[in-house]
Each structure stands twice: as C-alpha cells, then as structure tokens.
C-alpha cells in the first residue's frame, strides 16, 4: 500500500476533494454572474422604437396582456391638425365625416374634435386602442407621423422576454432604462398627451 502524498499520484480522495472545490467555485462564480446580470433587468423596461416599427400587427396578437400593452400615442408637437388626417380617415373614405365606415381605426379609438377652420384635434382613447398600428401607418404615409406606437408601462407586465419582441419582424423592441421609457420618432424629449 502506498502512503498518501509521498509521490505525485492523485488518490481518489484528493481527486474528489479537488473536483468538489472546483464545482463549488464554478457554482459560486455562476451565481455571481447571474445576480450581476439580472440586477440590471429591474432597471430596464421593454419599449418599441417607432423608427423601426413597420406596423405589422404583431403587437395585437402576441402581447400577453389583452388588449395589448402597446398603444397608439399622439405626439401633438408633430401633428399638423389636418382636416384630412391619414391616421383617422380610410384612404378610400367617401366623406370627411366621423362615420365608422370612414374611419381607419377598427375600434373607434381615435376621437376627432373641431378646433377652428381648418384644424381638428385627434385624441386616442387608450382603453379602446388595441395597438394594431393602422392609424400609425396612415399617419406616416399621408401625414407628419405624429401617431406612434409605444409600450404603456402601466399596462405592461415587463416580462423577462417580451413575446412581441420575439416575433417582431423589424426587431423594433428593445430594453430601455426605466427613467427614459418613451422613444419617439422625429423628436427627442417631447411629451405626448392622450386623453381618455
């Protein structure tokens, strides 16, 4: 029988001790990396970048919240208050009236209110908005692009992995710091107002 430690042979006991120490070190290191990596996610929220958004309609069907936490917001600083609003009226509208058949929004979430000739104000009723983006596409094609989709964080569950982000063909969703939750196309640091 050989005496332990007299030559360079590794005994079974030494091997198991070293393996156990290495495993514990890897586990502790992995836990530290996990904690450090996840401490940031509480300070980040999901948001949609309207410059990348293609209004595909995925926000309506893929959000875990029903109706979707993605809503149309109106950036009033960009709006032209047009009589013929591309985000409100269907392209084939026969008349410029508030009749449902003339409206682009499938849920009637946009309210048109006369301001003065020839200006109208358009407000979003978020409870009715499903985040389909039809008004956003119309406003971008025929207007100033003042209607934009945004994740409303009072409704969003801030999932670890946003289901809409997984399916978004334009890769328009990203994590942003909680203190700067809105991303607007065309302007930075502007306020939007939605009237319910």
The domain limits of the chain are 12-39, 42-180
CA distance 6 to 127: 79
pTM of the prediction?
Answer: 0.70
Q: What is the mean pLDDT of the chain?
A: 84
- In this prediction, residue 26 carries a pLDDT of 79
> Tens digit of pLDDT for each residue in 47-86?
999 999 999 999 999 999 999 999 999 999 889 998 999 9
CA distance 15 to 88: 74
Residue 28, pLDDT above cutoff 80: no
Residue 23, pLDDT above cutoff 60: yes
CB 124 within 8 A of CB 71: yes
> Tens digit of pLDDT for each residue in 130-172?
999 999 999 999 888 999 999 998 999 999 999 999 999 999 9
Residue 10, pLDDT above cutoff 90: no
- Give the residue-averaged pLDDT of 99-111: 94
């Amino acid at each position: 029988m050989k005496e332990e430690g007299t030559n360079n042979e590794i005994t079974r006991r030494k091997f198991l001790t070293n393996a156990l120490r290495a495993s514990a070190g890897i586990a502790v290191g992995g836990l530290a990396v996990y904690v450090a990596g996840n401490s940031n996610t509480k300070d980040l929220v999901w948001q949609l970048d309207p410059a990348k958004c293609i209004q595909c309609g995925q926000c309506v069907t893929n959000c875990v919240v029903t109706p979707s936490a993605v809503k149309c917001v109106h950036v009033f600083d960009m709006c032209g208050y047009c009589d013929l609003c591309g985000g409100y009226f269907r392209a084939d509208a026969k008349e410029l009236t508030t009749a449902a058949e003339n409206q682009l929004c499938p849920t009637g979430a946009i309210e048109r209110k006369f301001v003065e000739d020839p200006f109208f104000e358009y407000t979003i009723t978020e409870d009715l908005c499903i985040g389909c983006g039809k008004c956003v596409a119309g406003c971008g094609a025929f207007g100033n692009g003042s209607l934009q989709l945004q994740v409303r964080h009072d409704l969003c569950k801030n999932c670890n992995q946003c289901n809409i982000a997984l399916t978004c063909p334009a890769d328009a969703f990203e994590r942003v710091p909680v203190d700067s939750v809105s991303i607007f196309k065309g302007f930075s640091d502007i306020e939007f107002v939605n009237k319910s």
